């Protein structure tokens, strides 16, 4: 396959950012619109918990197949197909007339969205030098926090003025519009050239890497997946229940809850990218491949655990500050954990699959967060235990990241990993 590079790297990074942003518009749309949806379909906290998590069921099932497809066919077409499915399902969410139909559209949406993270991280592993991957990954992953920040405001306004159905139809339409510039500006990189794109990495996967089975034998791969899970649990707690928490405990209406939801997410976008850039700058040559991002991952997860203090705080601005610190830590830790997976990965031809495994780990925990929270709220009429569970997992993730990610992923001596002459396929972000 002929190698090609994006016509404009700035445009491609913007498209990666907006890919995550658009995906997360729908996720926050359901949480912002939870109250009118629950009223229309007569749903309680437990039923809403299952609805919040429903898209994660198919998302989880389709992640590894999406990674395999990305490794085989490239990120361009796979991600475009996924975005198309996601967008159409989101439009139909606004047209349904029953709870089973609403549930079904969420399942289809999850299947379509499963392509985004494997494809984006496949591109980053193929095209970005190791010394720049922290910043590159935080640019992409920041869209997952910009989406809720923007969505809480825009979707909150739409729901209050036009109703919840209009909000979903608009979110789906935006996804369909995204497809045109993506197909124009994005080009696949050549999978077998991606190791040399990392600059200082001397080996390449000429034989096709170790495959899914080989990756699952790696202790570091499991460590990254578990760390991802501990962080993503809290991410989905906020994503699905934060507006409801603010309305139920602080007496806010939908517009007020949307504003106070958007503020912490906006902070996470800005400071997450700055911290991602900082994580690259402190690395010396060879540090990335040695896994030296892990101390910062642990530090960010420890910062995120400040959410443990939320139940004992009444002042809304202090709560917003705690949420902002926690979300910033989570956003940075998740981004750097994905960058660590790419850093430790020996064979670039396994990049889609390896990142899929990491995201599966995150979403096994993420799928539980809205359901567990629903049961805890229903049983205790309080969010205190929900925040406590999240804080404990963040502390566990900080420990796991330090002790279980110390070896290269896919470092199989039976696989031909002969050095190759560098090519010009790598693209540095230093010029951005």
Exposure b/e, 219-235, CB count within 10 A at least 16 = b: ebbbbbbbbbbbbbbbb
User: Token pair for residue 183?
Assistant: 């197909």
**What is the pLDDT confidence band of residue 208, given thresholds at 50, 70 and 90?**
low
Q: 110 pLDDT exceeds 60?
A: yes
Q: 427 pLDDT exceeds 50?
A: no
Name the maximum alpha-carbon separation found in the chain.
64
Provide the 8-state DSSP code for 320: H
C-beta separation of 71 from 122 below 8 A = yes
Q: Which of 188, 149, 402, 174 minimizes the C-alpha distance to 292? A: 402
Between these two residues, 74 and 221, which has the higher pLDDT value? 221
Give the orientation angle of helix 34-41 with respect to helix 45-73, to 10 degrees.
120
Asked if residue 2 is part of any domain, the answer here is no
Placement of tokens 């809304």 in the chain:
316
Asked if residue 411 is part of any domain, the answer here is no
What is the overall mean pLDDT for the chain? Answer: 82
Asked if residue 184 is part of any domain, the answer here is yes
Query: CB within 8 A of 343, min separation 6: which ones?
Result: 130, 133, 288, 289, 291, 293
Asked if residue 306 is part of any domain, the answer here is yes
Helices (H) and strands (E) in the chain, counts: 17, 0
C-alpha distances (whole Å) from 213 to each of 191, 210, 409 are: 19, 7, 12
**What is the pLDDT confidence band of residue 188, given thresholds at 50, 70 and 90?**
low
C-alpha distances (whole Å) from 112 to each of 15, 19, 23, 104, 190 are: 17, 12, 10, 13, 24
Asked if residue 418 is part of any domain, the answer here is no
Query: CB within 8 A of 276, min separation 6: which ones?
Result: 134, 135, 137, 138, 139, 332, 335, 336, 339
**What is the pLDDT confidence band of residue 428, given thresholds at 50, 70 and 90?**
very low
Asked if residue 1 is part of any domain, the answer here is no
- pLDDT, tens only, 113-126: 999 999 988 888 88
Asked if residue 426 is part of any domain, the answer here is no
C-beta separation of 138 from 54 below 8 A = no
Exposure b/e, 416-426, CB count within 10 A at least 16 = b: ebeeeeeeebb
For 120-145, what is the mean pLDDT?
Answer: 87
CATH number, domain at 26? 1.20.1250.20
Query: CB within 8 A of 311, min separation 6: which ones?
Result: 382, 383, 384, 387, 388
Give the torsion through C-alpha atoms of 217, 70, 416, 225, to 10 deg. Answer: -20
Q: Decide: helix, strand or coil at residue 145.
A: helix
Classify residue 283 as exposed, middle or buried by CB count within 10 Å of its CB (0-12, 13-18, 19+).
buried
Asked if residue 399 is part of any domain, the answer here is yes
Query: CB within 8 A of 431, min separation 6: which ones?
Result: 9
- pLDDT, tens only, 261-294: 888 888 898 999 999 989 888 888 888 888 889 9
Q: Which of 348, 419, 341 minimizes the C-alpha distance to 198? A: 348
**What is the pLDDT confidence band of residue 431, given thresholds at 50, 70 and 90?**
very low
Q: 5 pLDDT exceeds 50?
A: no
Would you state the pLDDT for residue 189?
A: 53
pTM of this prediction?
A: 0.77
Domain enclosing residue 78, as ranges: 9-403
Would you state the pLDDT for residue 148?
A: 78
Q: Which of 30, 25, 65, 55 minimizes the C-alpha distance to 363? A: 55
% of the chain with per-residue pLDDT over 70: 88
| Number of compact structural domains in the chain | 1
Interatomic CA distance for residues 130 and 125, integer angstroms: 8
User: Token pair for residue 9?
Assistant: 């790297």
Q: 202 pLDDT exceeds 70?
A: no
């Amino acid at each position: 396959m002929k190698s090609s590079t994006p016509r404009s790297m700035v445009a491609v990074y913007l498209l990666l950012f907006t890919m995550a942003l658009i995906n997360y518009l729908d996720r926050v749309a359901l949480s912002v619109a939870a109250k009118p949806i629950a009223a229309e379909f007569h749903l309680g906290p437990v039923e809403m918990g299952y609805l919040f998590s429903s898209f994660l069921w198919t998302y989880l099932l389709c992640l590894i197949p999406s990674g395999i497809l990305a490794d085989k066919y490239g990120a361009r077409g796979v991600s475009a197909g996924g975005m198309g499915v996601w967008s159409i399902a989101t439009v139909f969410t606004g047209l349904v007339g029953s709870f089973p139909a609403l549930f079904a559209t969420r399942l289809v949406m999850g299947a379509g969205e499963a392509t985004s993270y494997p494809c984006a991280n496949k591109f980053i592993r193929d095209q970005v030098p190791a010394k720049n991957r922290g910043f590159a990954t935080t640019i992409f992953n920041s869209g997952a926090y910009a989406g809720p920040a923007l969505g809480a405001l825009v979707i909150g306004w739409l729901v209050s003025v036009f109703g919840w159905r209009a909000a979903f139809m608009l979110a789906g339409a935006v996804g369909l519009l995204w497809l045109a510039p993506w197909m124009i500006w994005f080009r696949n990189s050549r999978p077998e050239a991606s190791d040399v794109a990392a600059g200082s990495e001397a080996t390449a996967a000429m034989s096709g890497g170790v495959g899914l089975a080989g990756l699952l034998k790696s202790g570091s791969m499991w460590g990254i997946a578990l760390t991802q899970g501990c962080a993503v649990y809290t991410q989905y707690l906020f994503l699905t229940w934060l507006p409801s928490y603010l309305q139920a405990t602080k007496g806010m209406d939908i517009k007020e809850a949307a504003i106070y939801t958007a503020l912490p997410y906006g902070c996470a976008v800005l400071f997450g990218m700055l911290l991602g850039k900082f994580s690259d700058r402190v690395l010396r040559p060879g540090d990335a491949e040695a896994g030296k991002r892990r101390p910062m991952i642990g530090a960010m997860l420890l910062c995120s655990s400040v959410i443990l203090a939320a139940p004992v705080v009444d002042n809304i601005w202090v709560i917003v500050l705690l949420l902002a610190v926690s979300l910033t830590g989570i956003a940075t830790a998740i981004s750097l954990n994905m960058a660590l997976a790419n850093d430790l990965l020996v064979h670039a031809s396994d990049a889609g699959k390896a990142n899929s495994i990491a995201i599966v780990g995150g979403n096994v925990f993420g799928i539980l967060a809205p359901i567990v929270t629903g049961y805890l709220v229903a049983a205790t009429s309080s969010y205190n235990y929900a925040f406590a569970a999240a804080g404990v997992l963040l502390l566990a993730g900080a420990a796991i990241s330090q002790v279980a990610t110390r070896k290269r992923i896919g470092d199989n001596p039976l696989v031909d990993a002969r050095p190759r002459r560098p090519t010009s396929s790598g693209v540095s972000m230093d010029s951005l």
